[in-house]
Amino acid sequence: MAFIKCSACSREVSDKVATCPGCGAPLTPIPDSVRFTRKGRKWDGIGFALVLLGIVIGMVSNVALGWAVALAGLGVFIVGRFK
């Protein structure tokens, strides 16, 4: 049985355990098949920017145009959530 250092708390723990008994951090790397990454992140950013732009346009000049841009941004944001 060998001892390794926990990357989170620097405590020496056995290489046979899956998590650190001190802080609970995983000691074995998480396989890529278990990881989950969302792919719609770019759409979220574009939608958020459009919503902010619509609010600014609505406050500065044309309220109707601001609402239209904000609603379009909201639609893009929602589409990005399900992509």
Could you tell me the CA-to-CA distances from 5 to 22, 30, 43, 78 in Å, in that order?
11, 17, 40, 43
Model confidence pLDDT, tens digit, residues 53-82: 888 888 787 778 888 888 888 888 888 777
Domain count, the chain: 2
User: 55: Cβ–Cβ under 8 A, 6 or more apart, which residues?
Assistant: 66, 70
Residue 18 pLDDT > 80: yes
| Residues 18-32, mean pLDDT to the nearest whole number | 79
Q: Does the residue 34 lie in any domain?
A: no
Residue 39 pLDDT > 80: no
Q: Does the residue 78 lie in any domain?
A: yes
pLDDT in the model for residue 78: 81
Q: Which residues form the domain of 78? A: 41-82
pTM of the complete model beyond 0.85: no
Helix (H, G, I), strand (E, B) or coil at 27: coil
| Residues 14-42, mean pLDDT to the nearest whole number | 75
Residue 51 pLDDT > 80: yes
Could you tell me the CA-to-CA distances from 57 to 14, 35, 47, 62, 81 in Å, in that order?
60, 40, 15, 6, 25
Same-domain status, 20 and 46 = no
